[in-house]
Amino acid sequence: MMVLWTRAAEAGLEEISDYIRADNPEPAVSFVNEIIDAGEAIAKTPRAFALVPPLEHKGIRRRPFGNYLIFYRVTPSGPVPNRDRSRRLSDDEKSRHGGLGETTTPG
């Protein structure tokens, strides 16, 4: 199984890179590569991450990555990151989720 990155998800990664590059150009590329690696790792155990309430009926799951969450859904072709829902955790969410936003066993 492989991860299928949509154009919207790729655009989101570009936005993250541009945002980081504005303040600190050197780590921008490596950070985005780390996000991609984390997203690609979802393919090994795509159902290991928590379904997102109240979106369980749509099959939306979340994979924590530092202060970010990667939202995705599992399709017959593989996991598909969801650009609309990928975002940075608020300070309140970090405190409620131990800094990572994890709710179940990561994989």
Portion of the chain with pLDDT greater than 90, in percent: 21
- At 92 the pLDDT is 53
Q: Coil, strand, or helix at residue 88?
A: strand
- At 49 the pLDDT is 93
Domains of the chain plus CATH, in order, are 7-96 (3.30.2310.20)
Partners of 79 in the beta sheet? Answer: 74
Strand ranges, E, within the chain: 60-65, 68-75, 78-81, 87-88
Tell me phi and psi for residue 62, to 5 degrees: -130, 140
Summarize pLDDT for 6-56 with one digit per residue, the tens.
Answer: 888 888 888 888 988 999 888 888 988 999 999 999 999 999 999 988 888
pTM to 2 decimal places:
0.69
- At 90 the pLDDT is 54
- At 7 the pLDDT is 84
Residues with Cβ < 8 Å from 5, sequence gap 6 or more? 39, 80, 81
